[in-house]
Each structure stands twice: as structure tokens, then as C-alpha cells.
Amino acid sequence: MLKINIIAIGRVKEEYFKGGIDEYIKRLSRFCAVNLIELKEENYTNPTDSQIQKIIEVEGDSILKKLKGEVVSMCIEGEKISSKQFADYIKTQLDKGQELTFVIGGSYGLDKRVKDLSSKKLSFSHMTFPHTMFRLMFVEQLYRAFTIINNTSYHK
């Protein structure tokens, strides 16, 4: 069974997002083992540019310690692909038996060191989303990918 790690900065506080994320992770359990790793978000009040850079570096340090297998960074400058293309990518990794780690950065973005270690960079849109909402959207797309791979009726 494919192992998928999702490394995300910060914790989801809203119960409605938690419930959705938990539901999709539960649904995914029939296709793969999902390990959601939530790391500490660095918080500063009205940070300066240099403090923002420090935040990104500190968060990057904690992410780098958790990376395993094939690493995919979720970042605004990443490739924009369809749900079907995402499913094809997952299927390729599944066929290789490769552990996958998806990384979702914090509010100020993802450290360049993490991006440089990634074999792939993906983006859902040119738009900006709250990180908690994105996390829900991501696990939904992951579930959708597995339903496409397994030819179930979820994807339309």
C-alpha cells in the first residue's frame, strides 16, 4: 500500500475544516496510508521583511527534518495540472512503490531549500487560499485522484 505523507505548517483550528480533512483521510485509507504531519507555525506580530525570511527558514528547518521519499512541494509557482493529470502522477508513483511526501508551507511560503529538494512542484491555482482551506482541498484532490485511478464513480 502506498504511503503518503502530508507535511503542513500549522494546525487546523476550525472544526468544519478538521471534519472535512478527517473524512477524506478516512476515505483515502482504503487506497493508501496517509500520515498528516503538522509542524509549528512561527508567529510574529507585523513582521518585517527580514523577520519573514527568518520565519520561512525556521519553518523550512522543521520541514527538512521530516522529508521522505519522493517530495512534492505545493507552491504558487508550481505546475498547474488537472485532476486527471494529478491521478496519473499518483499512479506512476504507486507503480514505482515510492513513498510520497507532499509539503504545504506556512503563511509566508515555502523555504527555497525545500523546493530545491522537491522532484515536483505543484500549484492548484494562481489564486491564494487560506492554508486550512487548501489542506482540505488537497486531501479532496488526493481522494479524487485515487477514485480516478480505481475507476470509481466519485470523479465526474
Q: If DSSP codes are grouped into helix, strand and coil, which group holds residue 19?
A: helix
Distance in angstroms (rounded) separating the CA atoms of residues 65 and 132: 22
Read off the pTM: 0.94
DSSP secondary-structure letter at 102?
E
How many structural domains is the chain composed of?
A: 1
- Domain around 54: 2-149
- How does the average pLDDT of the chain come out, rounded? 94
pLDDT in the model for residue 154: 79
pLDDT band at 83; cut points 50, 70, 90: very high
Give exposure, 40-63, as e/b (b: 16+ Cβ within 10 Å): ebbeeeeeeeeeeeebbeebbebb
Which residue(s) pair with 39 in the sheet? 9
CA angle 89, 68, 59 (to 5 degrees): 105
- Decide which of 78 and 98 is more confident: 78
* Percent of the chain scoring above 90 in pLDDT: 87
| Assigned domain for 74 exists | yes
CATH number at residue 111: 3.40.1280.10
